[in-house]
Structure 1
């Protein structure tokens, strides 16, 4: 039985909730883009370079993944399509949780936006993650979420890190200070990456554990 047959329909309330999350995430990304572009232009960046730099942030990419996933669920429910598969939706909850945790634990103390920048900041790093975590806990099917499947969830963060290091080697620009090889050197950045990978996997295992507990409770 495929996922589409297992979950033939969603209530209008669930579809609406999914759509709201998608819209809020897209609005936050759009607002931050409108704020960031003039700042990039003031530094002499081109439009293309500015867009590449903006969309190189893990925060932006993760919020777009949330918008794509929840928007897909709002339109078509849960199915075999990639962004509506429970395992993919579960991987995304790890990514957006890391966005929230790393920002609030490490970056908030050194970054102090004001005005609309503060609004976009709180949406991207607090409101959107919390909305999606609630969505995952309450809505996403959790059957078949095994610990071994969480290893595949690390692929995207690893590819992202490789991309940032390659891009940084040519531009000397890094979206996050702890990945800055110019400032810290490759050995120290490698330690930072190792810590990040461990943190990612711990959250992968945590969400797999939660999924299994919820599944066991529902089947009891």
Structure 2
């Protein structure tokens, strides 16, 4: 070996023959191994997809133009529901609607979808049309659960109670917008445009913290003399301690909590199943 690190020439049959440089060992690739980009996508990191990436990689539609159009429409629908429910256009806005979980969860969805629109538009401009855009797939699960609570309580608790009271205007346009359509828009957005594989089994318990935070606030607000409607210190019938008693309210809360956890686990199962199916898609 020469001082400069190059191999010395060796003599063969009286002739000087330059020694071949030793080839570096080739790195073996495990059979079936593929480039795994799912963790980056699942963490919310912006992923620039190559032209050969499957359209539904990560179990999400990798088309930012389609996602942007959908999210702009969803944002407009959510804003319409919030405006109609708060009576802003009538000239006599009802500020008490802000005290109810329905409005709180709809405003949360409004902010979230607005963030999705901004993020998708920015990524479309900077990273191109192919790819997914979301601040955080796990955060999308929390928002989805928060608004799912609104839909479930409306359909399971409020609608039967209003029918029992003789209310014939249950499924009005405004009610449908804030209780049914907005939840479905958020769920469909997650189902189609958000990368899968990020949810954890513990997430459904964490997602219940949002409705529980409202529950604690509502009880404290009523106990301090606050009213949600004139003469009513409880926002929803299942929270009325004066009528149901502490035990009755506790039973309702436990039952609803179990229902929400079950729904959350269904979301996790769907998330993991779609992620597993997406990993089986051959990448060319």
Q: Is TM-score (shorter-chain normalized) higher than 0.5? A: yes
**Given that residues 91 and 204 in structure 1 are in contact (C-alpha distance below 8 angstroms), is that contact kept between their aligned partners in structure 2?**
no
Q: Does 1:193 align with 2:229?
A: no
Tell me the number of residue pairs that the alignment of Structure 1 and Structure 2 aligns: 206
Aligned counterpart, 1:88: 139
How far residue 200 of structure 1 moved from its aligned partner, in angstroms, is 1.5
How far residue 110 of structure 1 moved from its aligned partner, in angstroms, is 3.2
- Work out which of the residue numbers 99, 104, 108 in structure 2 matches 1:61: 104
How far residue 95 of structure 1 moved from its aligned partner, in angstroms, is 2.1
* Structure with larger Rg: 2
Aligned counterpart, 1:4: 45
SS at match of 2:87: helix
How far residue 3 of structure 1 moved from its aligned partner, in angstroms, is 2.4
Moved over 6 A (4+): 35-38
Q: Structure 1 residues 10, 56: closer, same or farther in 2, change over 3 A?
A: farther
Aligned counterpart, 1:211: 271
Q: Does 1:135 align with 2:189?
A: yes
Q: Deviations over 1:39-94 (max 9, x none)?
A: xx8xxxxx8xx52x311222111112222111111111399xxx831111112212
**Range moving further from structure 2, 164-173 or 29-38:** 29-38
**Given that residues 62 and 95 in structure 1 are in contact (C-alpha distance below 8 angstroms), is that contact kept between their aligned partners in structure 2?**
yes
Superposed CA RMSD: 2.8
Q: Does 1:20 align with 2:63?
A: no
So what's the TM-score if we normalise by structure 2? 0.65
Q: Does 1:150 align with 2:204?
A: yes
How far residue 24 of structure 1 moved from its aligned partner, in angstroms, is 0.7
Structure with higher helix content: 1
SS at match of 2:194: coil
**Given that residues 85 and 97 in structure 2 are in contact (C-alpha distance below 8 angstroms), is that contact kept between their aligned partners in structure 1?**
no
- The unaligned stretches of length 5 or more in structure 2 are 1-39, 50-61, 124-133, 227-231
Q: Structure 1 residues 36, 109: closer, same or farther in 2, change over 3 A?
A: farther
How far residue 180 of structure 1 moved from its aligned partner, in angstroms, is 1.1
CA distance in 2, matches of 1:155, 1:74: 26
**Range moving further from structure 2, 103-112 or 123-132:** 103-112
Q: Structure 1 residues 35, 189: closer, same or farther in 2, change over 3 A?
A: farther
Q: Structure 1 residues 32, 7: closer, same or farther in 2, change over 3 A?
A: farther
**Given that residues 36 and 54 in structure 1 are in contact (C-alpha distance below 8 angstroms), is that contact kept between their aligned partners in structure 2?**
no
Aligned counterpart, 1:99: 150
- The unaligned stretches of length 5 or more in structure 1 are 42-46
CA distance in 2, matches of 1:99, 1:71: 20
